Structure 1
Amino acid sequence: MTVHSTASAETEAFAEQWRAWHAAHEEQLADEHGFLAITGLHWLDAEPQTFTDGPGSWTTGPGGPVVVLDEGEELVVDGETVRGAHHFGVIPERGGVFARWGDAVIEVARRGGYDVVRPRHPGNPLRTSFRGTPAYEPDPRWAVTGRYVPFDVPRPTTVGAVVDGIEHVYDAPGSVRFELDGYELSLTVFPGHEPGSLTVLFTDATSGVTTYAANRSLRLSPGPDGVVTLDFNRATNLPCAYTDLATCPLPPPENRLPVAVEAGEKIPYERA
C-alpha cells in the first residue's frame, strides 16, 4: 500500500467516525422531548399564570415553583402522579425537573436566576420538520492538539445570554492553549456534563457568515497530563441556534477566535 492510499484510508476512516458521531448527535437533538419540541418559554413570578401549552396555574417564590392543577389534570413527577397543588421546591441554577403530561413533558427549570416553564410537545412543527443540520465536511486538519492549563482556583466567570437581561455564571476551571493557522490561541473552559469533561463556548471569523452568530460549543476530555484534542469538526450549535425559546450562554470575550474555523456545524436551515 502506498503512502497516499494509506493517508486516504485514514482520512475516510476519520470521516466515517465523524458521520456516525453527527448522526447520533442529531438523533439526540430530534428526540421527541428534545429542544426542538419546546413550544413555549414561560418566566414565572408571584402572579399566577396559565399557559395554552401546559396544565394548571403557575407561580414561584422563595420556595421554588408551584403549580395548581385544575380538576381532572395531573402530572407525573419523578414517577409519582400528582394532582391539585404541587411544590417543586427550590431548583438549582441550570437544574430542572421534567414532568410528564400526556405525551408531552413540562420542563421546570432555573436559568439566569429565574424559574421558567418550557413545555415540550413531540408534535411541535420545528421538530417534525427537522431535516438535519448542515455542516462542513470533516477534515483532520481541524483536529488540533492542545494543553489544558488549570487555574490555581476556579474563576467565577459571568457571561451574557441570548435572552436580554439574563446572565450565566460559571466556575471556569482553566483554559486550553493551542496553535491554529499560525496563531497561539487560548480558550477559557467551563465544566462539562460528564465528570472530567470540559465545555468550550466560542465564536470565530465564520460566526454570522456560515456558522451561527452567537456561539458554538465544543466538548473536551483532557488526559491526565493535560494533553487534549480540540476537534473543531465536532463543534456543535447550541439550542438557541434553532429556537428563540432557549436561554443559551454567550462565550466570554476572550473566546472570540480571530481565525475562520471552517469546521463543524453551520447555520441551521431553520435560521437560514
Structure 2
Amino acid sequence: MTETTTAPTDGAAFALAWGEWHDEHERRRADPHGFLAVTTIEFLDAEPRRVEGVPGLWSTSEAGPVVELDADDEPLELDGVTLSGRHEFGPIAERDGLLLRSGDTVVELAKRGGHDIVRPRHPGTPLLRDYTGTPTYVPNPRWVAHGRFVPFDEPRPVTVGSAAPGLEHVYDAPGVVEFELRGEPLRLTVFGGHGGGYLALFTDETSGVTTYAANRSLSIASPDADGGVVLDFNRAVNLPCAYTDHATCPLPPAENRLPVAIEAGEKTPVERLRAAS
C-alpha cells in the first residue's frame, strides 16, 4: 500500500476538473425522469392492485409481473407500443428492469432484492422541482489515495442490507482495495462497477454528522497492470436513498465502515436535513 499522494498538484486545475465532473453528475441526477422524480414505490404481490399515478392493475408471481388494463385507463406504452388488456412481462432479473411510459410519467418496472416493484417517475414531483443541488466539501487533492486491488480466488457473494426495511441485496465481490489515508491503513470490499471498474459502498466518521448516515459510494477505475488503483474521495457521492424514501439502495458491508473522517465528497442533502428538522 502507498500513502495518500503528496505529489505537487495544480490546485486550480484539480478543482476545475472536479467541478466539471460534479456539474455533469448533478445534471444527470436532476434528469426529468431520474430518481428525484420518483413519486412512490410499490412492491408487487399476487393481489392485483392500483399504483398511484400509473394505469392498470398490477400483480406478480413466479411467472413475472402482470398489468391488466381496461378501456378507461390512460394509455401505457412499452417501447412505443401501446398495451391493452392483460400484459405479461415475464420474469425480470435481479437489478434489471423495464421503462414504460404513460403521458408525462415514466414507469419503472424492476426487480430489487428479489421483489418486483413499480416506481413511477414524474417531472412535476416537488423533490425534483425544488432541487437546488447537493452540498459538498471543497475538493482537495489530499483526499486522493493510491492503493492496490487484491482479488479473491473467485468472487464472493456478499449480502448487504437495504434502505428499504426488510430488504436485502446480494452482490458478487471480486476482491478488496487496500490503501492508506492520512497514514491509516484501510481496505474496502468492492463490487463490480457500472461500465467496468469497481464500486465501493462505505460509511466513515462523518456519516450522520456532515454526510448521509446510511451510505456513500465511490467509483474506482480498473487497476493497472500491477493492480494499482486510485481512490478519489472528492468524488464520493450520495445514493438515491439520501434524497427519497422511495429507494432500495444497498447498505455498505460491515467491513466498509471506515474508522476515519473522510471530509471529502458529497454531504447530506438539504432535503434530508429539512425532513429531519
TM class by shorter chain equals over 0.9
What corresponds to 2:14 in structure 1?
Answer: 14
Which structure 2 residue ranges, 5 or more long, are not aligned?
1-6
Q: CA deviation at 1:83?
A: 1.6
In the alignment, structure 1 residue 207 sits paired with structure 2 residue 225: no
Q: Give, in whole Å, the separation in 1 of the partners of 2:8 and 2:167.
A: 48
Distance 1:78 1:262, change over 3 A: same
**Structure 1 residue ranges, 4+ long, deviating more than 6 angstroms after superposition:** none
Q: Give, in whole Å, the separation in 2 of the partners of 1:96 and 1:267.
A: 28
Which structure 1 residue ranges, 5 or more long, are not aligned?
1-6
Q: Give, in whole Å, the separation in 2 of the partners of 1:147 and 1:78.
A: 43
Q: Deviations over 1:182-206 (max 9, x none)?
A: 2111100001110x31100000000
In the alignment, structure 1 residue 135 sits paired with structure 2 residue 142: no
Contact 2:159 2:170 in 1 (8 A): yes
Q: CA deviation at 1:244?
A: 0.3
Q: CA deviation at 1:8?
A: 9.1
Other structure's SS at 2:142 match: helix
What corresponds to 2:116 in structure 1?
Answer: 115
Q: Deviations over 1:3-39 (max 9, x none)?
A: xxxx998101000000110010011000010000000
Q: Give, in whole Å, the separation in 2 of the partners of 1:110 and 1:250.
A: 17
Distance 1:267 1:191, change over 3 A: same
The one-letter amino acid of 1:261's match is I
Q: CA deviation at 1:69?
A: 1.4
What corresponds to 1:39 in structure 2?
Answer: 39
Q: How does 1:22-33 map to 2 (within 5 A)?
A: 22-33=22-33
Q: Deviations over 1:73-109 (max 9, x none)?
A: 3222123221221111101111110101111100001
Higher relative contact order (CA 8 A, sep 6+): 2
Distance 1:96 1:181, change over 3 A: same
Q: CA deviation at 1:162?
A: 1.2
Contact 2:40 2:52 in 1 (8 A): no
What corresponds to 2:252 in structure 1?
Answer: 251
Q: Deviations over 1:41-64 (max 9, x none)?
A: 101000011022111000000111
Identity fraction in percent: 62
What corresponds to 2:4 in structure 1?
Answer: none
Q: Give, in whole Å, the separation in 1 of the partners of 2:201 and 2:248.
A: 14
Q: CA deviation at 1:260?
A: 0.2
What corresponds to 2:82 in structure 1?
Answer: 81
What corresponds to 2:175 in structure 1?
Answer: 174
In the alignment, structure 1 residue 267 sits paired with structure 2 residue 275: no
Corresponding pairs, count? 265
* TM value normalised by structure 1: 0.95
